[in-house]
Structure formats: structure tokens, C-alpha cells
Amino acid sequence: MRARVLLAVLVACAVTATAGAETIVVNGRLQVAPTTVPHPHRSQTMRQVEHHFGAPEKRYPTVGRPPITRWDYPDFSVYFEYNRVVHAVVHAPAAS
């Protein structure tokens, strides 16, 4: 029984780890939409992000306590607390 519960939890984690979503505002309403844009995930280190995605286009100075740092890439921005990802924001596509 315990093995089945563990297996169920592992399967659930695997499924949610592959799902991607982004929060967007459409007509003044907050919505969550799926995204296919590859971006860093929470708890990755700065080193891992740079190794996987390359050097950012822009690095902002660290601010506040705890120290928060922002890196901008063409399709997303990454926010770090100390040296770990706390959030990645996928940029909205340019309006046509």
C-alpha cells in the first residue's frame, strides 16, 4: 500500500513538472495560459540557468533584503533570491 501511494505521488510530480503555464492579463482580467517557451524553474541556481540558457541580455543590480536579482532574456525574465530562481516571467508576444 505504501509503495502505491509513493508511486502515485511520484507520477503526480512528474506530470506537474512538465506542465507549463504563464499568468497573463487579457482585457483587464488575470488569466493563466499554457506556455511552450522554455524557461528556468524554481530553485535552479544562477550557474545552472546561465549554463542552460546562456548569458542574459541584461543583468540588473541586486536590490533589497533578501537580495533579489533580475536577469532578462529575449523571451523571459528570471528573478533570483540570493542565487536561486524564485520566479520566471515569460514575456507577452509583441502585438501585431
Cis amide prior to 67 (ω within 30 degrees): no
pLDDT digits (tens, 9 = 90+) for 13-59: 443 443 455 555 667 777 677 788 999 999 999 999 999 999 999 99
- Residue 44's domain spans which residues? 2-90
pTM attached to this predicted model: 0.67
What would you report as the CA-atom Rg of the chain, rounded to the nearest whole angstrom? 16
Domain contains 96: no
Domain assignment of residue 53, yes or no = yes
At residue 30, the pLDDT reads: 72
4 Cβ partners below 8 Å, 6+ apart?
Answer: none
**Residue 37 resides in a domain:** yes
pLDDT of 5:
44
13 located within any domain:
yes
Considering the domain boundaries, does residue 83 fall inside one? Answer: yes
- Please check whether residue 74 lies inside any domain of the structure: yes
* Strand, helix or coil for residue 76: strand
Mean pLDDT score of the chain: 80
CB atoms closer than 10 angstroms to residue 35 = 16
- Domain membership of residue 16 (yes or no) is yes
Query: Domain total for the chain?
Result: 1
User: Shortest CA distance to 68 belongs to which of 47, 46, 39?
Assistant: 46
Residue 73 within any structural domain of the chain: yes
The pLDDT score that the predictor gives to residue 55 is 98
